[in-house]
Structure 1
Amino acid sequence: MDVEILSRIQFAFTIAFHYIYPPLSIGIGLLMVVFESIYLRTRKKEYEVLARFWTKIFAITFGIGVVTGIVMEFEFGTNWATYSRYVGDIFGSALAAEGIFAFALESSALGVLLFGWNRVKPWVHLLATWAVFLGSMFSAVWIVVANSWQQTPAGYHIVGEGMRARAEIVDFWAMVFNPSSVDRLSHVWLGAFLAGAFLILSVHAYYIIKGRFVNMSEKAFKITLVVAAVASLAQLFTGHSSAESVAVNQPAKLAAMEGHFKEAAPADLYLFGWVDKEKQEVTGLRIPAGLTFMLHQDFETSVTGLNAFPEEDRPSQVNAIFQFYHLMVAIGMFLIALSIFGLWQWSRGKLFDKKWLMWTFVFTAILPQLANQFGWFAAEMGRQPWVVYGLLRTSEALSKSVQANQVLFSLILFFIVYTILFLLFIYLMNKAIKKGPTSDIDYNEGSLNDEISNVISK
């Protein structure tokens, strides 16, 4: 493999691994706020125990997420020096904003969240919980803004020429509110809510099946099920809005997502299929002119296909993009159906009577994570061959002095280290979940602080 392919694999691996944790942190953070707010309103002890328990899980997730995210910033300089110079003014301002507006808020309140139980007033602790949750949300804002600018650049001008060329901000807010940032941010936030919600549903469904913490788990399950249903339905609308934005701003990406090759013709909507790039055919179940109808509300308007672009300007891995995109959509539709079915069973008073349904929720914890990953894969692969859409090609963004064997060696090391971190994450999560939201005695200030300190030190 050459340097470009290896560098892309390395960055894809590190960012995909890192992206396991931030969505969980945001989603769990939302439910932490909900549980603790209900406790302050009702003074029912089980909600405090739930808030404390999921704070412990949050601490594990947050710690691993911070560690795994640091590596990517160094990769910009080691593997992608030309890219870093080209977008440094744009990307640097977004990362600086993350540090000022997000990480500072999150980290300053984290100590109160983890160690402030029984040391500060309940409303102060709830305020800290809100601050940590909002900090994680703001962090996503600036990362998505930076990535969205690469997809749909705005608010910039180019200075210099050739290898010295770089983008500079001329309108900060135009850069922030570039054509795709709002749609993509709402989609990312909702994906994070689903990741956290379905993990919580999974854990409490397991407790209900095993007859542990049943009363508490049933309450937690019902609250979280409402969050999951609202988020999954809202995700459907943000996904459609994002697709409309892609059709306008990145038509080659949308064409690859749907396997649409004809230069200008009504486009079918595929529920599933397989793309033969050489024959320019898709075999699968389709709705004739379905994509045209979703974009234009008729069956006759043409949709731009891949053949409208020079071959060197098209995404090359069309079938992979098609599959990742359709897997994301399929998972999203399944989560909507499962959430609504759960609400229906709740309305009939039979939600916890069906053991198969609880087992289904146990195993669906992985699905939002997969959907989040597949969505990012489709978005990033669909942007190719551009690292900054229409401005800088991926092949031109590499560091000139890095050799393939160096990238391969570091990739192997990253794989080993990240595997160890993942196993540690699974071990700590399993240990915490096995113990569960235990009694008040187990949740005295000292024991909770000792456990969290041990988690952080590990």
Structure 2
Amino acid sequence: MDAVLLARIQFASTTLFHFIFVPLSIGLALLIAIMQTMYVIKRDEVYLKMTKFWSVFFLINFAVGVVTGIIQEFQFGMNWSTYSRFVGDIFGAPLAVEALLAFFMESTFIGLWVFGWNRLPEKIHLACIWLVSIGTIASAFWILAANSFMHNPVGFIIQNGRAEMNDIIALLTNEKLWVAFPHTVFGSFATGAFFIIGVSAWNMLKKRDVDFFKKSMNISLVLGLISGLGLAFSGHSQATYLMHAQPMKMAAAEGLWEDSGDPAAWTLIANIDVENKESTSRVEIPYLLSYLAFSEFKGKVEGMNTLQARYEEQFGEGNYMPPVKTTFWSFRIMAGTGGVLLLLSLTGLYLSYRKKLVFSTKYLKWLVPAIFLPFIGNSFGWIMSEIGRQPWVVNGLMKTEDAVSPNVSAGQILFSLISFSTIYTLLAIAMVYLFIRVIKQGPHEKRKDDVSASDPFETGGMEHAVK
């Protein structure tokens, strides 16, 4: 197999697997901070139990996420050395800040929070988990600052054949960063919320600790609704950004080969014929594409054929169209999952308001598999964003085929791909096993003579929680 293809497969697999843990950590950290805050304010012991129970999942997820992140960095340095030499001066800076500031902040305050139960003053201890939550969000910001340069290169000069940073402010005010960051954070909040919602629904169906899980679900449903609305509005801002910054990605996401009419209709589904460069059997919603692109119900969207001719004039001969089918359907899967999450949140809050949530068996059954919807939406959103940028690894500056390591063979990449995939499989099995054990155990009271009874974070407590 081709080394470029294998390197891309390895990058995609490691990043997608790592991206399972990142949004869950961000979402759970916020919800745990909210739960502990409610305990401090209301003095209701159930909120303390909620804080400690859900934090076990957060800590397991955080630990596995750290391991997957290390593996991702290793394969990045191994397979993409040409890219690293070209943009290392820019790309490395925000990643270094993320590691030295944001991740250090997370790990430090996680330690203080875990071992500070009944040792730190109550409000100082509460501040620790809020700082953990802020740290997870800050990590996302700095990583997206690096990624956004790949989509919209700013704040640099080309010198000695390398892109070198000359304006850190431009990098941190990158338009791509400020449309991607809210969307990613709201997606992460939805991930944490629906994890708790799904686990709570399963236990409510089993009639286990109903009051505990009902309160957990109600808090998460509120965050789920806020996240769903945030995803909708931030998604719209991304669409308007694409129109002037990455119009080819926008056209591919719509399967639009020729220029649209004015106003432009948004395509719900279509048969994408890449060979003949046409999209047939389109089901369209009038005016909607113009609104998504221009925030008004008028305006024409350029098609891929028009943009291809323009890019050939600017960059020379070549294929500047991304994989159209992948981009088209990834966008619809992402948007569809977001819509379903918003609908489920609204339904749950309505049922809770009518005091029918516990008795709505069919709805609770839907919520259990809904745990996976945010992960699906996050993954396909990332696929749409990165695949839609092709053939560029840095938009307009470097093509993906030119970014791989010249001295790493296809066989070496294949070996590392198999090795990393094996490690990821073992990690996934271990994490799922631990999660299931904790879910089945539930937030049950321990014996009074059990060291971990009053505090699962005391010596031996975490071990007890997962055994």
Q: What interval of TM-score do these two structures reach, taking the shorter chain for normalisation?
A: over 0.9
Q: Tell me, yes or no, if the aligned pair for 2:249 and 2:322 is still in contact at 8 Å.
A: no
The aligned length equals: 453
RMSD (Å) for aligned C-alpha atoms: 1.8
2:201 paired with 1:195: no
2:322 paired with 1:322: no
Question: The residue matched to 2:83 in structure 1 has which SS?
Answer: helix
| TM-score, structure 1 as length reference | 0.95
Tell me by how many angstroms 1:273 deviates. Answer: 2.6
Corresponding residue number in structure 1 for 2:139: 139
Read off the aligned partner of 1:419 and give its amino acid letter.
Answer: T
Tell me by how many angstroms 1:219 deviates. Answer: 1.2
Q: Which runs of 5+ in 2 are unaligned?
A: 313-317
Segment of structure 1 superposing worse, 209-218 or 255-264: 255-264
Q: Tell me, yes or no, if the aligned pair for 1:114 and 1:452 is still in contact at 8 Å.
A: no
2:52 paired with 1:52: yes
Q: 2:383 aligns with which of 377, 391, 398?
A: 377
In 2 relative to 1, CA 222–454 (structure 1 residues): closer, same or farther, beyond 3 Å? closer
Q: Tell me, yes or no, if the aligned pair for 1:98 and 1:142 is still in contact at 8 Å.
A: yes
Q: Which runs of 5+ in 1 are unaligned?
A: none
Corresponding residue number in structure 1 for 2:315: none
2:218 paired with 1:204: no
2:187 paired with 1:177: no
1:383-422 equivalences in 2 (<5 Å): 383-422=389-428
In 2 relative to 1, CA 443–195 (structure 1 residues): closer, same or farther, beyond 3 Å? farther
Q: Tell me, yes or no, if the aligned pair for 1:273 and 1:285 is still in contact at 8 Å.
A: yes
Q: 1:256 aligns with which of 249, 252, 258?
A: 252
Corresponding residue number in structure 1 for 2:455: 445
Tell me by how many angstroms 1:343 deviates. Answer: 1.6
Corresponding residue number in structure 1 for 2:70: 70
Q: 1:429 aligns with which of 430, 435, 440?
A: 435
Segment of structure 1 superposing worse, 39-48 or 346-355: 346-355
Question: The residue matched to 1:400 in structure 2 has which SS?
Answer: coil
Q: Tell me, yes or no, if the aligned pair for 1:315 and 1:381 is still in contact at 8 Å.
A: no
Corresponding residue number in structure 2 for 1:16: 16
Segment of structure 1 superposing worse, 182-191 or 269-278: 269-278
Question: The residue matched to 2:368 in structure 1 has which SS?
Answer: helix
Give % identity: 39
Tell me by how many angstroms 1:264 deviates. Answer: 6.2
Tell me by how many angstroms 1:341 deviates. Answer: 1.4
Segment of structure 1 superposing worse, 35-44 or 261-270: 261-270
What are the superposed Cα offsets for residues 358-396 of structure 1, whole Å, 9 maximum, x if unpaired?
A: 111111000000000000000000000000000010011
Q: Tell me, yes or no, if the aligned pair for 1:60 and 1:455 is still in contact at 8 Å.
A: no
Q: 1:273 aligns with which of 266, 270, 276?
A: 270
In 2 relative to 1, CA 117–45 (structure 1 residues): closer, same or farther, beyond 3 Å? same
2:75 paired with 1:99: no
Segment of structure 1 superposing worse, 442-451 or 384-393: 442-451
Read off the aligned partner of 2:124 and give its amino acid letter.
Answer: V
Q: Tell me, yes or no, if the aligned pair for 1:114 and 1:449 is still in contact at 8 Å.
A: no
Tell me by how many angstroms 1:288 deviates. Answer: 3.6
For 2:154 and 2:196, the matched residues in 1 are separated by 39
Tell me by how many angstroms 1:297 deviates. Answer: 5.0
For 1:176 and 1:334, the matched residues in 2 are separated by 33
Tell me by how many angstroms 1:179 deviates. Answer: 1.8
Q: Tell me, yes or no, if the aligned pair for 1:28 and 1:197 is still in contact at 8 Å.
A: yes
Read off the aligned partner of 2:108 and give its amino acid letter.
Answer: S
Corresponding residue number in structure 1 for 2:289: 291
Q: 1:331 aligns with which of 337, 362, 382?
A: 337
Tell me by how many angstroms 1:315 deviates. Answer: 3.1
